[in-house]
Amino acid sequence: MPSGETTTQNDTPLADPAEIRRAMEYYADRGWTDGLPVVPVTESYLAEFLATTSRDPDEVLMPMPQLNRQCTVRLAAINAALAGCRPDYFPVVLAAWESLTREGYATRGIWQSTTGTAPLLIVNGPVRGRIGLNSQGNVFGSGFRANATIGRAIRLGAINALGLRPHQLDQATQGTPAKYTACIAENEEESPWPALHAQFGLDPSDSAVTAMIIRSCLHIEARHTTVPEQLALDITGTISRTGALIHETISALVVLSPEHARLFSRAGWGKADLSEFIYQHAVRSRAELAAVGKDAVARQTRWRLPADHPDAVAQEPPDDPDAPVQLIVSADAIQIVVAGAPNAGVSSIVETFGPVDRAPMVVKVEEKK
Amino acid sequence: MADGILLERAGVPAVSICTGSFLLPAQAMARAYGFGGFEFATVPHPIASLDSQQIEARARDVLPEVLRILGLES
């Protein structure tokens, strides 16, 4: 209704709000939600989502044979609609599922794990502007429908298509707030470097989604330094915190604010220089690891545990307990994107799951012409 | 949790052992395989932080339950 007009009896809405509430309660009662209300989905509304892709509705996006389940294009569309996506967001949701499947941890069962990970989606390219994805201020926060609902579409798919409900097949000890939704866009316009998708072979005019499996999102406050080595060490110290050490080595996504990215760029550093610096400096001494009971690794899983644990790989006491132990397996374990407002020296470390030593899974968004 | 069910389906008698903390997800897994009556043997939680003797004690304590589920005389 245009502003300034008054309501008349003829403006009475066609839908009865009580009926809408009844539909929402029905979805909640069936356990088809993440705890928040969902959008009721009809066949005709589902058709609007499926019309945005040339893919077969029965095509399997993510197989999960150990659970007797799978996520198809149709199930992904239903859950995107439930999540509150607009139909034109759906090509991004499809690329997200494909990236998650290729990333590999989800299909190997990480979403059932006690660690309690969540998917993080990073979107690049012109689709960001077309559907209103936020890449600037409050990029990890609330307030933007595309970010909020695209991330949520994956969670609802995990619950409804794959059957990963908490207290049942989802065994997360605590989980993470990112399990509601976690989708950011890269602030390519205020980055001094190539965007993530261009870095891994796509054209900058393409749109892409890169999915990662994450546990924590930690923030870096460094508002006053102008020395790249100081800022890089501050970041490295956060990445190499002992609490993050599940496995023998760790991996991370560094989400730099434009101000921090420019600090490095002005000093002549590229993304690869920062990744390499972090790789070289992410160390703890054997004594530091022993002090927290993580100086050895388990025989099969290579998880970190105390040297006197019955499952520990036997090792000689070190000649020098202060000798550094490398905590990252290669510079590829550290990826870098730029996001957020250009208003402060504040950045984030996203702790990605597992000892990653390969390029991230960048998947092109296929928009139907 | 799924392995025991798959072994049983393949004709190999099997018992899956988990700690009590994992019984609910184990039962959810059994239902996902259409085998809601699959019986799990449970031991007290935790396991990861036990020493060798404590682990052996857990194994000894659960053995009668494993034999019972297998249908063997203990």
Residues of B with CB under 8 A from a CB of A: 2, 22, 24-25, 28-29, 32-34, 48, 50-52, 55
Structure confidence at residue A12 (pLDDT):
72
Question: In the numeric block, which tokens belong to residue A332?
Answer: 């590829």
Q: Do A169 and B55 touch (CB under 8 A)?
A: no
Show residues of chain B in contact with A112, CB under 8 Å. 25
Q: Do B25 and A112 touch (CB under 8 A)?
A: yes
Question: In the numeric block, which tokens belong to residue A117?
Answer: 């990970």
Q: What pTM value is reported for the model? A: 0.93
Show residues of chain A in contact with B29, CB under 8 Å. 67, 169
pLDDT per residue rounded down to tens, chain A (369 residues): 444 455 556 677 778 889 989 999 999 999 999 999 999 999 999 999 999 999 999 999 999 998 999 999 999 999 999 999 999 999 999 999 999 999 999 999 999 999 999 999 999 999 999 999 999 999 999 999 999 999 999 999 999 999 999 999 999 999 999 999 999 999 999 999 999 999 999 999 999 999 999 999 999 999 999 999 999 999 999 999 999 999 999 999 999 999 999 999 999 999 999 999 999 999 999 999 999 999 999 999 999 999 999 999 998 888 899 999 999 999 999 999 999 999 999 999 999 998 888 899 999 999 887
CB nearest to B25's CB, from A69, A168, A309: A168
Structure confidence at residue A10 (pLDDT):
67
> ipTM, 2 decimals?
0.86
Q: Are A208 and A197 in contact (CB under 8 A)?
A: yes
Give the number of beta-carbon pairs within 8 Å between A and B: 29
Question: In the numeric block, which tokens belong to residue A89?
Answer: 């967001």
Q: Which residue of B has its CA nearest to A309?
A: B51
- Indicate the length of chain A as a whole number: 369
Torsion (CA) A118, A210, A32, B39 in degrees, nearest 10: -50
Q: Where are the beta strands (DSSP E) in chain A?
A: 60-64, 69-72, 118-124, 183-185, 208-221, 251-256, 283-285, 296-297, 304-305, 324-326, 334-338, 346-352, 362-364
For A63-115, what is each residue's pLDDT tens digit? 999 899 999 999 999 999 999 999 999 999 999 999 999 999 999 999 999 99
Q: What distance in Å separates residue B56's CA from the closest CA in chain A?
A: 11
Q: Are A164 and A116 in contact (CB under 8 A)?
A: no
Show residues of chain B in contact with A298, CB under 8 Å. none
CB nearest to A163's CB, from B22, B32, B34: B32
For A251-280, what is each residue's pLDDT tens digit? 999 999 999 999 999 999 999 999 999 999
For A331-352, what is each residue's pLDDT tens digit? 999 999 999 999 999 999 999 9
CB nearest to B25's CB, from A66, A171, A310: A171
Element containing residue A320 per DSSP (H, E): none
